[in-house]
Structure 1
Amino acid sequence: MNITVETIIAAPIAKVWTLYNAPEHIKNWNAASDDWHTTASTVDLREGGQFSSRMEAKDGSMGFDFAGTFTKIVEHKLIEYTFGDRKATIQFADSEDGVKLDITFEAETTYSPEQQQQGWQAILNNFKRYVESLN
């Protein structure tokens, strides 16, 4: 089962692309709620390159690494990657109001599709707020 989240960001596509992929920026927006944060991030943005973000509860009670391998990169347009045995696709497209960003990912079985969609959408909403705050 695939799940898609999306948003429109009022910023130029080059800026959206850079802020989405730069580790120093990822640490500023990559969390689904205010009680979580990303403490470390690495990105080797090329086909076959690896990425990893360390996501932790701010109270130190738990954390995990979200990591994977890029399988396809089309600058300012598309990122495909695998994480574990699942796949995700990110599409960047110019729109009248800015950049339309769609993320489609394969659902996992531990959490309900609704929970997964809400979590990924919350992170994407944080990204939108972060980018637009820098305009």
Structure 2
Amino acid sequence: MQITVETTIAAPISTVWSLYNTPEHIKNWNAASDDWHTTASAVDLREGGAFSSRMEAKDGSMGFDFAGDFTKIIEHALIEYTFGDRKATIQFVDTAEGVKLSITFEAETTYSTEQQQQGWQAILNNFKRYVEK
């Protein structure tokens, strides 16, 4: 099953692309709630390159690494990657209202579809707020 989350960001596509893919910026927006944060991030943005983000609860009670490999990159338009045995696609579309950013990913079986959709949407909403501030 695939899940899609999306938002429209009032900013130039070059800004959205850069802030989405730069480790220093990722650490500022990559969290689903205020009690989590990203403590480390690395991005080798090229086909065959890898990425990773360390996400941790701010109270130190738990954390995990989100990592994968880029399989297709079209600058300012598309990122495809694998993470574990799953795949995701990110589309960047320039519109009159701003950049429509959509992420489609393969669902996992541990958490409900609704929980996964809400978590990924929350992170995308944080990204929108970060870019637009």
* TM-score strictly above 0.5: yes
The 2-side partners of 1:101 and 1:38 are apart by: 21
1:124 paired with 2:113, answer no
Unaligned runs of 5+ in 2: none
1:71 paired with 2:78, answer no
**Corresponding residue for residue 48 of structure 1:** 48
1:28-67 Cα offsets, whole Å, 9 max, x none, are 0000000000000000000000000000000000000000
**Corresponding residue for residue 96 of structure 2:** 96
**RMSD (Å) for aligned C-alpha atoms:** 0.2
Question: What is the TM-score normalised by the length of structure 2?
Answer: 1.00
Moved over 4 A (4+): none
TM superposition shift of 1:96: 1.2
TM superposition shift of 1:13: 0.1
1:83-120 Cα offsets, whole Å, 9 max, x none, are 00000000000111100000000000000000000000
Secondary structure of residue in 1 paired with 2:104: strand
The 2-side partners of 1:37 and 1:102 are apart by: 22
The 1-side partners of 2:96 and 2:74 are apart by: 21
1:8 paired with 2:5, answer no
Unaligned runs of 5+ in 1: none
The 2-side partners of 1:69 and 1:77 are apart by: 18
